[in-house]
């Protein structure tokens, strides 16, 4: 159970918003990532590049801060959702109407709100625990956008997607991404390589709705088998890891596969790791 105590007097919500944006930018900067946008190329995407994604991340920073502040104020899901909608409008304005970070607004936004709540009420448990206990039931009952990629995949493949992930406290973060980041410290001293290792672990372990939308179950199986082979063959501990990862990136790009959900989870894991929860 989450134990509530007397609210703290000062909470750095702006700092939480800045940290969230910095984590998004770290994900963008990481290369090689199979099928994903980086400063090197646009991967499987024709409509966005790293400069656009960085503009998007910058536009979202004040909204992440507002979500942290709302969490600190004990806001319910309706307030968080309203801020998230405003964040989407700002994202679209920054990108000319391209959806660069809708999934991150949802997942990373909830983590910011949980971080604000934890700081204000000195709550125990992980940020995922706080999300599940505070807002999990309402997340499941909330409105479903009929024409989003996630909703389309959920109807087509009966997968829970981001809503189920959030409502249950982000198990992919705590069971896959964070252990993979920790494991990677034993394999390499290079931070970028750690992020690649964690991303590969997420691709193996998550039913990424972006992969399902673009490639169906066959595309998901292709992505997971290649990521698993990368990990089994030594991951980032081998001298040729970058060559192998680039080849995998090219294979994903040729098939128009992009594990965007896993990219969002990587940024979220970096945020949780940095915030110590």
Burial class (CB in 10 A: 0-12, 13-18, 19+), 179: middle
* pLDDT grade for 276, boundaries at 50, 70 and 90: confident
123 Rama sector, left if φ>0, alpha if ψ -120 to 50, beta otherwise: beta
- Per-position DSSP letters for 77-130, written without gaps between them: HHHHHHHHHHHHHHHHHHHTS--SSHHHHHHHHHHHHHHHHHHHHT--S-HHHH
d(CA 77, CA 81): 6
96-144: per-residue pLDDT in tens?
Answer: 999 999 999 999 999 999 999 999 999 999 999 999 999 999 998 866 5
**What is the pLDDT, as a whole number, of residue 231?**
98
- The pLDDT mean for the chain works out to 91
The total number of residues written for the chain in this structure: 277
Q: Say if residue 150's pLDDT is above 60.
A: no
**What is the pLDDT, as a whole number, of residue 38?**
98
Tokens of 2: 């989450």
Report whether 269 contacts 177 (CB < 8 A): yes
Q: What is the mean pLDDT of residues 77-82?
A: 97
For tokens 């700081």, what's the residue?
Answer: 119
Lowest-pLDDT range of 66-70, 132-136, 155-159, 237-241? 155-159
d(CA 244, CA 197): 12
Residue 75 contacts by C-beta under 8 Å, 6 or more apart in sequence? 113
**What is the pLDDT, as a whole number, of residue 152?**
45
* pLDDT grade for 2, boundaries at 50, 70 and 90: very low
Tokens of 207: 């039913």
Q: What is the mean pLDDT of residues 82-93?
A: 98
For tokens 């249950």, what's the residue?
Answer: 168
C-alpha torsion sign, points 10, 11, 14, 18: positive
d(CA 257, CA 248): 11
* pLDDT grade for 160, boundaries at 50, 70 and 90: low
Tokens of 208: 């990424």
Report whether 26 contacts 108 (CB < 8 A): no
Percentage, residues of the chain above pLDDT 70 = 90
Q: Does 160 or 255 have the greater pLDDT score?
A: 255
d(CA 92, CA 111): 22
Q: Say if residue 158's pLDDT is above 70.
A: no
172-218: per-residue pLDDT in tens?
Answer: 999 999 999 999 999 999 999 999 999 999 999 999 999 999 999 99
Q: Say if residue 155's pLDDT is above 60.
A: no
d(CA 59, CA 57): 5
Domain borders along the chain are: 13-275
């Amino acid at each position: 159970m989450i134990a509530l105590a007397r609210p703290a007097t000062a909470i750095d919500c702006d700092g939480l918003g800045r940290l969230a944006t910095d984590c998004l930018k770290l994900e963008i900067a990481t290369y090689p990532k199979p099928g994903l946008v980086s400063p090197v190329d646009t991967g499987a995407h024709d409509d966005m590049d790293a400069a656009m994604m960085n503009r998007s991340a910058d536009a979202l920073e004040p909204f992440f801060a507002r979500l942290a502040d709302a969490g600190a104020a004990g806001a319910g899901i309706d307030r968080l959702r309203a801020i998230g909608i405003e964040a989407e409008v700002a994202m679209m304005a920054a990108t000319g109407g391209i959806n660069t970070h809708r999934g991150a607004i949802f997942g990373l936004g909830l983590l910011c709100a949980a971080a604000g709540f934890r700081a204000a009420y000195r709550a125990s448990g992980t940020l995922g625990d706080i999300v599940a206990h505070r807002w999990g039931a309402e997340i499941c009952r909330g409105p479903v956008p009929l024409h989003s990629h996630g909703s389309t995949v959920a109807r087509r493949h009966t997968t829970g997607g981001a809503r189920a992930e959030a409502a249950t406290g982000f198990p992919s973060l705590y069971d896959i991404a964070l252990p993979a980041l920790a494991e990677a410290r034993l394999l390499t001293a290079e931070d970028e390589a750690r992020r690649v290792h964690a991303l590969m672990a997420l691709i193996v372990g998550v039913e990424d709705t972006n992969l399902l939308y673009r490639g169906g179950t066959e595309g998901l199986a292709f992505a997971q088998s290649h990521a698993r082979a990368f990990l089994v063959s030594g991951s980032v501990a081998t001298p040729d890891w970058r060559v192998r990862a680039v080849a995998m990136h090219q294979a994903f790009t040729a098939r128009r596969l992009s594990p965007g959900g896993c990219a969002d989870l990587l940024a979220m894991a970096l945020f949780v790791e940095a915030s110590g929860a």
